[in-house]
Amino acid sequence: MNLETKAKITWCPGCGNFGILNSLKMAVGDLVKEGKARVEDFVLVAGIGCHGKIVDYVNLNSFVSLHGRAVPTATGIKLANPKLKVIAFAGDGDAYDEGISHLIHAAKRNTDITLIVHDNSVFALTTGQFTATSPKGFKSKSSPKGSIEKPLDPLRVLLSAGATFVARGYVGRGDHLKTLIKEAVKHKGFSVVDVLQPCVAFNNTYSYYSQRVYELKNHNEQSVDEAYKKLSEWNGRIPIGIFYRKEQKTFEEELFKVNKP
């Protein structure tokens, strides 16, 4: 399936965003071939940041929102047409700094959208300030002596808020990431995939992640306790995969039930 556009890709050579782009295209292609969706069913939403360019590079319906506002925009699109497959994209600064309140409420409501976070732990488009997921001691333009803040653990926050699909991927494992995106889109409810996405210009973490990530095996995806336990792993080994998923009524189903004509 050809999802290419004529737009020139302007990401830095080697940027982790290429991995997300390629995995997304493969996931969409598979879902269409398998009869799980039609091309016209997809709508992509992006915020502001390097990640936001992804909607220019995929030949699907799309909408560019404001900084931190991709999630409420995606929610509105889903409410307007519940048959659509709405995929929102955000950077870690976009999602976990400016947009964290929207994100928590989307998880709480179980809005039937998918969020893919390009998590490079740096504000890359504005050339290198620390974000909510930057490690303590991270030196940047906004923290020249090293950040004094502990990083946010976004997936634990969203799990506690009520997210019904919680996953983490890595751009260095393209086929695995493709599978995560497919499962997230097929999930009925709020799904989030936090993608470890190195920024070659301001936070090149390829070596760090490649030496530590491992794919979850024989993990109980129905257990909140097991999800928290695995999400607590980080420095020595970093698990990637689906930590938790559960089917329950979506925000749209509950809303339309209450507001029947």
* pLDDT recorded at residue 257: 80
* pLDDT recorded at residue 244: 98
CA–CA dist 248, 251 (Å, integer):
10
Which residues have a Cβ under 8 Å from the Cβ of 42 and sit 6 or more positions away? 28, 60, 61, 84, 85, 87
Expressed as residue numbers, the domain containing 216 is: 17-258
249 inside domain: yes
* pLDDT recorded at residue 235: 82
Question: pLDDT tens for residues 24-72?
Answer: 999 999 999 999 999 999 999 999 999 999 999 999 999 999 888 999 9
- Residue 87 sits in a domain of what CATH number? 3.40.50.970
Question: pLDDT tens for residues 168-216?
Answer: 999 999 999 999 999 999 999 999 999 999 999 999 999 999 999 999 9
CA 82 to chain centre: 20
11 inside domain: no
140 inside domain: yes
Question: pLDDT tens for residues 139-172?
Answer: 988 999 999 999 999 999 999 999 999 999 999 9
8 inside domain: no
- Region 126-137: mean pLDDT is 91
Percent of the chain with pLDDT over 90: 91
Average pLDDT of the chain to the nearest whole number = 95
Of residues 2 and 20, more confidently modeled? 20
Model confidence, pTM: 0.95
1 inside domain: no
142 inside domain: yes
4 inside domain: no
* pLDDT recorded at residue 131: 93
Which residues have a Cβ under 8 Å from the Cβ of 259 and sit 6 or more positions away? none
3 inside domain: no
Number of domains in the chain: 1
pLDDT at 84 over 80: yes
pLDDT at 261 over 80: no
* pLDDT recorded at residue 10: 96
pLDDT at 94 over 70: yes
* pLDDT recorded at residue 119: 97
pLDDT at 115 over 70: yes
What DSSP string describes 46-63? E-SSGGGGGGGSS-SEEE
Six token digits for residue 258 = 């209450």
* pLDDT recorded at residue 1: 79
Confidence of residue 258 (pLDDT cuts 50, 70, 90): confident
